[in-house]
Amino acid sequence: MRLGVLDVGSNTVHLLVVDAHPGARPLPAHSHKAELRLAQLLDESGAIGSDGVDKLIETIRGALDAAEDKGVEALLPFATSAVREASNADDVLARVQAETGVELQVLAGSEEARLTFLAARRWFGWSAGKLLVLDIGGGSLEIAYGIDEEPDAAVSLPLGAGRLTAGWLPTDPADPADIRALRRHVRAQIARTVGEFSRFGAPDHVVATSKTFKQLARLAGAARSTDGLYVQRELKRRSLEDWVPRLAAMTADERAELPGVSPGRSNQLLAGALVAEGAMDLFGVDTLEICPWALREGVILRRLDHLPTE
pLDDT band of residue 152 (cuts 50, 70, 90) is very high
Beginning with the edge strand found earlier in the chain, give each strand of the sheet holding 2-8 in spatial order.
Answer: 27-35, 12-19, 2-8, 74-79, 105-106
Q: What is the pLDDT of residues 188-215, one digit of tens each?
A: 999 999 999 999 999 999 999 999 999 9
Range name among 61-70, 130-139, 219-228 with the lowest pLDDT average? 219-228
pLDDT band of residue 308 (cuts 50, 70, 90) is low
14 pLDDT more than 80: yes
pTM over 0.75, yes/no: yes
Q: What pLDDT, on the 0 to 100 scale, is given for residue 17? A: 96
Contact by Cβ (8 Å): 113, 132: no
SS3 19: strand
Cα separation, 14 vs 107, in Å, equals 15
Average pLDDT over residues 249-254: 97
Cα separation, 14 vs 302, in Å, equals 18
Q: What pLDDT, on the 0 to 100 scale, is given for residue 310? A: 54
φ, ψ for residue 278 (rounded to 5)?
A: -65, -45
229 pLDDT more than 90: no
Kindly report the average pLDDT of the chain as a whole number: 94
65 pLDDT more than 90: yes
Cα separation, 38 vs 139, in Å, equals 9
Q: What pLDDT, on the 0 to 100 scale, is given for residue 1? A: 84
- Give the contacts of 60 (CB within 8 A, at least 6 positions apart): 6, 8, 13, 96, 100, 102
Percent of the chain with pLDDT over 70: 99
Contact by Cβ (8 Å): 160, 82: no
pLDDT band of residue 309 (cuts 50, 70, 90) is low
Average pLDDT over residues 3-28: 90
pLDDT band of residue 24 (cuts 50, 70, 90) is confident
Q: What is the pLDDT of residues 86-142, one digit of tens each?
A: 999 999 999 999 999 999 999 999 999 999 999 999 999 999 999 999 999 999 999
Q: What is the pLDDT of residues 71-97, one digit of tens each?
A: 999 999 999 988 999 999 999 999 999
Q: What is the pLDDT of residues 37-46, one digit of tens each?
A: 887 777 888 8
